[in-house]
Amino acid sequence: ELKVEQNPLFLSMQEGKNYTIYCNYSTTSDRLYWYRQDPGKSLESLFVLLSNGAVKQEGRLMASLDTKARLSTLHITAAVHDLSATYFCAVDGYGGSQGNLIFGKGTKLSVKP
Amino acid sequence: SQTIHQWPATLVQPVGSPLSLECTVEGTSNPNLYWYRQAAGRGLQLLFYSVGIGQISSEVPQNLSASRPQDRQFILSSKKLLLSDSGFYLCAWASTLYEQYFGPGTRLTVT
């Protein structure tokens, strides 16, 4: 059974600090996705990582993928309050044509002044 | 560009009543479509997915059913709601890279 584990599940940060969210998964996969969810809202796609060593950056967020270690990281640089949200990683563990994603439980990030 | 719609946005239903949630996608053809449920403060649970008209796969046994009567329409139904059916229901479609794009969601409260 494919498992996707995120840690930490809760993260309280001060503005201006750096931190990393980790996403481990239990089977081989070449595709990994990061999503953001604001309270009461739907999920917004942040990054799609399609190969080993892939790195993508958008603003203060940078995501990377190591398929050999089955690990993705979401690094937050100089956090600001607007980044407060829940972040999910997801893995395409089935391949084929279904595109079924397995989601982690999410990391709830709170950035405090 | 592609757009995904869900309705209603919120719904309060008594236990034992029927349910019908609708999802439609614009701007793409033959998308893979998905229904998820998110319980309060929890992660996403995949309920159903569909790779084409009339083709429905269920991930978990439950009180719900899904149908895809048209290429870009996905419906989630129940004949009799349970309290445990409360949650935030999200519809999604997948791009060719299998990146999933989510609709705005329906918040269902069963009383």
For B70-99, what is each residue's pLDDT tens digit?
Answer: 999 999 999 999 999 999 999 999 877 678
Which chain A residue has the Cα nearest residue B47?
A100
User: DSSP secondary structure string, A28-94?
Assistant: --S-EEEEEE-TTS-EEEEEEE-STT-EEEETTEEEEEETTTTEEEEEE-S--GGG-EEEEEEEE-S
Q: What is the dihedral of CA B108, A47, B29, B10, to 10 degrees?
A: 10
With beta carbons under 8 A apart, name residues in chain B contacting A100: 34, 46, 49, 59
CB B12 within 8 A of CB B29: no
Q: How far apart are CA B63 and CA B92, in angstroms?
A: 20
Tens of pLDDT, residues A43-69: 999 999 988 889 999 999 999 999 999
Provide the pLDDT for residue B33. 94
Q: Which of A48, A100, A106 sits opposite B46 (nearest CB)?
A: A100
With beta carbons under 8 A apart, name residues in chain B contacting A41: 104-105
CB B76 within 8 A of CB B88: no
Q: Does A1 touch chain B (CB under 8 A)?
A: no
Mean pLDDT of chain A: 91
Q: How confident is the model at residue B62 (pLDDT cuts 50, 70, 90)?
A: confident
With beta carbons under 8 A apart, name residues in chain B contacting A93: none
Q: How far apart are CA A13 and CA B47, in angstroms?
A: 34
Provide the pLDDT for residue A71. 95
Mean pLDDT, rounded, for B19-41: 92
Q: How confident is the model at residue A93 (pLDDT cuts 50, 70, 90)?
A: low
> Residue holding tokens 């918040």?
B107
Mean pLDDT of chain B: 92
With beta carbons under 8 A apart, name residues in chain A contacting B97: 31, 48, 50
Q: How confident is the model at residue A112 (pLDDT cuts 50, 70, 90)?
A: very high
Which chain B residue has the Cα nearest residue A48?
B99
Q: How far apart are CA A98 and CA B57, in angstroms?
A: 10
pLDDT at B37 over 90: yes
> Residue holding tokens 């998110």?
B38
- Name the residue with higher pLDDT: A29 or B88: B88
Q: Does B99 touch chain A (CB under 8 A)?
A: yes
Tens of pLDDT, residues A2-25: 889 999 999 999 999 999 999 999
